[in-house]
Amino acid sequence: PSEVELESALRLKTIQYFVTQRPWLDLYGKHVRPVAPFGSASRRSYVDPALIHRSLPDELLFEVFVRMAPYDLGRASCVCRKWRYTIRNPVFWRTACLKAWQLSGLVENYKILQSKYEGSWRKMWLLRPRVRTDGKLYFLTCF
């Protein structure tokens, strides 16, 4: 091979490293609608069963959340926006606070709520020190 051909071949090999084919990049920005399972005669659109939490009515969600522990409420609020906004309801946090600090009494808890936590039960739950009863032990150390 001549010198020109070798130079041309070397240039092509170098270019191959710079321009690599990445077919998966063509998939960005494309939204594919789920299809009905194979053999389904239904014309209704297929709803992914993994997304059932989106179709639950608020009343049912409320009943489920009322029965959850406060730590689980925090985890559930990470599922989606609808759950996060539902869980921000003060009813859930009021119940948790009154149960955690029941020895203080109802009136005393309301006074503390208004004076230190701006009337937010959720903020009170997050910031007020309490004895944990979920089997975990945390130490606060100061050096």
Task: Please give the Cα distance from 33 to 31 (Å, whole number).
Answer: 6
Query: Apex CA 45: angle with CA 42 and CA 49, to 5°?
Result: 100
Q: What integer pLDDT is reported at residue 7 of this predicted model?
A: 76
> Which residues fall within 8 angstroms of residue 119, CB to CB, at 6 or more apart?
113
SS3 116: helix
User: Which one is predicted more confidently, 138 or 127?
Assistant: 127
How many other C-beta atoms can be found within 10 angstroms of the C-beta atom of residue 117? 17
Position 33 pLDDT exceeds 90: no
Nearest to 65 by CA among 56, 57, 73, 75: 73
The pLDDT tens digits for 76-88 are 999 888 889 889 9
User: Which one is predicted more confidently, 8 or 91?
Assistant: 91
Token pair, residue 37, equals 């399972």
Q: Domain coordinates of the chain in residue numbers?
A: 55-124
Angle between helices 106-116 and 90-100 (to 10 degrees): 120
The pLDDT tens digits for 107-130 are 998 999 999 998 999 999 888 887
Give the predicted TM-score (pTM) of the model.
0.55
Angle between helices 90-100 and 58-66 (to 10 degrees): 10
- CATH for 55-124 is 1.20.1280.50
